[in-house]
Amino acid sequence: MPNEANNVILSVRNISKRFPGVQALSSVSLDFRSGEVHVLMGENGAGKSTLMKLLAGIYECDEGEIILEGVPVKMENPLKAQLLGINLINQELNIAGNLTVAENVFMGNEPSRFGLVDRVQMAERAKDALAKLGSQFPVDVTAGSLSIAEQQQIEIARSIVHNGKILIMDEPTAALSDRETERLFELILSLRAKGMAIIYISHRLAEVGIIADQVSVLRDGAYIGTLRKPNLDNGEIVRMMVGRELTDFYKHEVSTTLTPNRLVVNKITDGKRVKPTSFSVAGGEILALSGLVGSGRTEMARLIFGADKRTSGEIWIDGHKVHIESPIDAIRHGIGYVPE
């Protein structure tokens, strides 16, 4: 490992940020190093995303300073951060699906010649950047036709063409399959080997041992501590995140009395994304619906709740067939809906 003091590329010193009624960050200080993957962890509301948005120029800090390569800088906007070599990839990707891959790579920073967009240069540079990532898709197809994993590669390529030094990734594996996640980790470790600093936000402890050089934890907007390899311990990370030992957790007694077929869904479909789907749930039971983004989970829930119109299928509650044509009907039959 290079000398740590000389390897620091980005630092935050006593950063604070407040929103109405909420102290999102309180005097947070951290160092990020070139050629390292620095994982930032914490529960929801810990301040992780707020800190990253400060670094990316989306927010301005109320107090404290950001130091890039030894020089204090002010991130007035995302373009300023990008010009300084800091790129943020949000969980919700910043991709225009109707534009080509090349156009997305250079979105907002298109090369020009004689006052016009130089599409030849744009395509060549985008192709070179994607080649460094081992991407297989052409640069002249629309980004909306690609998978989520491939769209992530477009965002990473955007960082490369702008000579990015620091790449911030916010929950990048949330919508990826296992194979896509493995491929993403390969890309991250490749960028690390080339000297890029990777700041990686995650809730998943399993990812820590695979990619992290160090892990820092935030809790309630405050910096709790940092662990470095080879001393990355999941139990200690959890303790830092929640503020108590794992032995403090306890199990609730779970009732085994179930009411069969409290809800039965029989071949409901909207004739589009949701294919004929059937399942049953007992009273006292939790049924988890999982799938990648775009797989139809939300659409199916909306059909059951009557928020969207179904073309066929039946819904039964406690052995009685019910007619749900609107959310009001669903509520009358005792169905609630909490959207994502």
Could you count the other beta carbons within 10 Å of the beta carbon of residue 273? Answer: 13
pLDDT of residue 249: 52
What are 117-144's pLDDT values in tens digits? 888 999 999 998 888 878 888 999 999 8
Asked if residue 123 and residue 13 are part of one domain, the reply reads yes
Asked if residue 84 and residue 47 are part of one domain, the reply reads yes
Total of domains in the chain = 2
CB of 24 closer than 8 Å to CB of 50: yes
Q: What is the domain range of residue 240?
A: 4-248
* Of 117-131, 189-203, 283-297, the least confident: 283-297
Q: Residues 6 or more apart from 274 whose CB is under 8 A from it?
A: 268, 296, 299, 300, 303, 310
Distance between CA atoms of 47 and 217, rounded to whole angstroms?
A: 10
* Of 1-5, 61-65, 236-240, 316-320, the least confident: 1-5
Domain contains 340? no
Asked if residue 286 and residue 139 are part of one domain, the reply reads no
Asked if residue 165 and residue 105 are part of one domain, the reply reads yes
Is the pTM here over 0.85, yes or no?
Answer: no
What are 157-180's pLDDT values in tens digits? 888 887 789 999 888 887 777 777
Asked if residue 189 and residue 62 are part of one domain, the reply reads yes
Parallel, antiparallel or unpaired: strands 166-170 and 197-201: parallel
Instruction: Please determine, for residue 106, whether its predicted confidence score (pLDDT) is greater than 70.
Output: yes
Asked if residue 227 and residue 300 are part of one domain, the reply reads no
Look up residue 335 and give its two tokens: 């169905």
Domain contains 237? yes
What are 220-230's pLDDT values in tens digits? 999 999 999 88
Q: Domain of 304: which CATH number?
A: 3.40.50.300
Distance between CA atoms of 203 and 43, rounded to whole angstroms?
A: 7
The residue out of 214, 248, 282 marking a domain boundary is 248
